[in-house]
A and B are shown apart, each in its own frame.
Chain A
Amino acid sequence: MILYDGKTYESSEQDRLLTELENRIPEILGKKQLSPEVVIEAVECLRNDLLEGKFDDLLASFPADVVDSYKQQAEALLSKEHLHKKLETELGNTYEYTTEYIKGFNQIRVRKMPLGVLFHIAAGNMDFLPAYSLAEGLMTGNINILKLPSADNGLSLKLIMQLIGYRPELKDYIYVFDTSSSDIQGMRKMAELSNAISVWGSDMAIAAVRGLAPTGVKIIEWGQKLGFCYITKLDEVEDAGKELEGLAKHIAQTKQLLCSSCQVIYVDTSDMSEVKAFAEKFLPFLEAAANANRSEEIGVRARDTLVSYTQRLKSYLGEEERHDNVIRGRSCSLIIAPDSELELSPMMCNVLVKPLPRENIGKVLYEGRYHLQTAGLICPAEDRKYLAELFTRCGLIRVTKSSDMSAYFPGECHDGEYALSRYVRIVNVEE
């Protein structure tokens, strides 16, 4: 399904519509600029309707507690006030101004403007992310081409159509394609129509997009990151059991699928027997959380088991790091490894546990510098400030409590940058 000019079309019409879009874009750019107020109003209408239960049937496939949590988040984050705050935080002053007079130089007017056309290659690992990414493109006044992730369940398109329903003028700025990722011609055409490509994905996927993009197009990368939890002086941590429970819940709830999810638990030691002792202590917490978060649906559980098992076999084949020292629990495992490398775990509640003595933190984080994002901390209160400083100095973007590694904090940046600021450019006009 394609969404073009506010109407839906069959996927087979893609080539024709993309050719038509090439003529349509300059017309729109030449005619007007989208005001963020229009977008904010449409998003708020969506929020209100969501809270009134108008989309409950669309959300029927999600568990009830997930729907409740989505509604709670929407209530706060999609409100007019929050969106205005987001604009202000991420873009700063958007009003046009004239530079001060400096003798010998002419003055200029300075203004933030949209990039033009944004091509979003969104990830499918978070519900609503494609729609959210598009909304950010709209808030900055861009024309948006969105390629839906292959795993999208149709929800994104429905939400986007709702936005157009509230404010029909948005239709000129929204073009959604369900192009298959194997349709290289289609993707290239979309890239060629764009000023910038906003892409979410692994190093290899980003390299692929770089290869696809014409020279000159700006590539806004939201690359793959690896989260970890650092544990030190567990005996001195107040209510350590609760902290471990929080970490286990985080792992089970995200199934380690997010960039911020914990892949590795580092224990502040170089003694492997301490690492093993920690893993044995943590296993019951993880097992309990994994079972509490176990899907009721047999198809999902069977899929997760198959994926874990397949990963395990791949490790024997040498395609994945092989770990012989594994403590297995029901629906989860702790993989004890003697090195300190920050790496992707097999996910689905299969966590790596490694030693990382404090003095080696700098070295390990430097080696993992391209993938740093979130660190959870379990430490005595007096160590927290020092470790947070150390981690951020070494490249971390977020330092959180172990239970909050994937939590959203209003006002937070993403991978060290504000998305909206990457979607605009600054223009200068001589007075």
Chain B
Amino acid sequence: MKLRRKLFASKDPYDCTRSQLFLDACKENYSHLITHCDDYKKISEGLGIKGVHDIKGVCDIPIIPTMLMKQHDFRSGRYMVMATSSGTSGKMSHVRFEFGALMAALRMSIKVTRYHGIMSFRPCRYIVMGYKPHRSNKTAVAKTAYLTTFLAPAISRKFILKHTSEGYKPDFDGIVKALEKYEKGKAPVRFMGFPSYTFFLFRLLEERGLSFKLPKNSRIMLGGGWKQFYQEAADKETFYKLAKKTLNIDEENITEFFGAVEHPILYTDCAAHHFHVPVYSNIVIRDPDTLEPLGMGKTGLVNLISPLCKATPILSIMTDDLGILHDGSTCPCGVKSPYLEIVGRVAPEDIKTCAAGAADILQGVKV
């Protein structure tokens, strides 16, 4: 995986000149997958890609939908760490990472977070708007939220979702108490986690007439997506205003991450709140009817490509998100690569067939 190493060692995480290296690294990954994963080979051949010579561009790489990964466990080599998707619909993908993938991910994280000024040596207090790590929780969201608390030395970590005997429960009152304490201290506070819980917290504070003047350099870092949250229609402007009003955190100190366990690339929004595509990945937006690649500015299914991982065939995956790829060359932040806008999700997956009428009984229950 020489080419992967080279790609992930790129100095500039948004270097637009490395598309050939990217394609070559993908081919290298593909060659590994078809020789180490029978299932991947079957799919590739089924789709008419008989070998690496059939891959002329990143669009040609066989696409594995996350929908299939939730139904079928793929393996393509030895691994060190396994993570699962959050499984909002009850089904989860299992993604395994080998040492090389973890190292590449680490390199990428350091480069990207440094680039966006998120990495700091100044100790801070973390409020994680997500899961408290627990042995029963293998979701990548819990792991990444926890890992993010290492981007600056932690004085303390407070979690909003606590594991109780009845499962995970939000503890808003505990957070309010912590805020009262932290406001009096000097250490910056860093919020990390789901946008939905963070937004609920803002509203709760607003309803109770509470506001805090958190120490300077406090930040909000959002990850885990707005997926379950479209109903609330919280537009980002409102979110930023509430952050200022309730916690005294300015918009420029709010950073959002985007990623998926099946595509563990760190997308970080720029000053203009755009998710530019880093050098480690490519995004192809595909026609919702034919899966043919679409040009910039058109809405379609989001096909995410990265040669990060060997142990699971996640070279080219398709999520159930709908998105648009925009031309990034005019973004005021200076990054020239295209940026992704997620505009929604496909309709619920549970296709309602006669056969499926009571079949959901089987999915959760082994009777």
The residues of A with any CB-CB pair to B shorter than 8 Å are 121-125, 149-151, 180-184, 187, 199-202, 204-209, 211-212, 224-225, 257-259, 294, 297-303, 305-307, 309-310, 312-319, 322, 330-331, 344, 347-348
Contacts and interface: CB of A to CB of B under 8 A. Distances in A.
Contacts of B65: 306, 309-310, 313
A322 B42 CA distance: 11
Interface in B326-356: 344-356
Contacts, number: 174
A201 B355 contact: yes
Given A202-B356, A206-B358, 7 more contacts: A123-B352, A125-B356, A181-B358, A200-B357, A201-B356, A258-B354, A344-B355
A303 B361 CA distance: 22
Interface of B: 39, 42-43, 45-47, 63-65, 67-68, 71-72, 90, 288-291, 299-301, 318, 320, 322, 344-365, 367
A151 B355 contact: no
A202 B346 contact: no
A201 B72 contact: no
A46 to B, nearest CB: 23
Contacts of A312: 46
A61 to B, nearest CB: 12
Contacts of B364: 180-184
A224 B354 contact: yes
A208 B348 contact: no
B70 to A, nearest CB: 9
Given A181-B364, A316-B45, A202 B300 contact: no
A317 B358 contact: no
A147 to B, nearest CB: 9
A150 B355 CA distance: 14
A121 B361 CA distance: 10
A347 B43 contact: no
Given A182-B364, A303-B348, A316-B45, A224 B320 contact: no
Contact of B344 (A200, A202, A224, A299): A299
A306 B303 CA distance: 12
B347 A202 contact: no
B68 A299 contact: no
A187 B361 contact: yes
A124 B356 CA distance: 8
A179 B34 CA distance: 43
B347 A313 contact: no
Nearest to B351: A307
Q: Which of A125, A201, A294 has the most CB of B within 10 A?
A: A201
11 contacts: A123-B352, A123-B357, A205-B359, A208-B358, A211-B367, A299-B344, A302-B347, A305-B289, A314-B71, A318-B42, A347-B353
The 8 A-B residue pairs with the shortest CB-CB distance, nearest first, are A182-B364, A123-B357, A201-B358, A316-B46, A302-B288, A211-B367, A205-B358, A202-B355
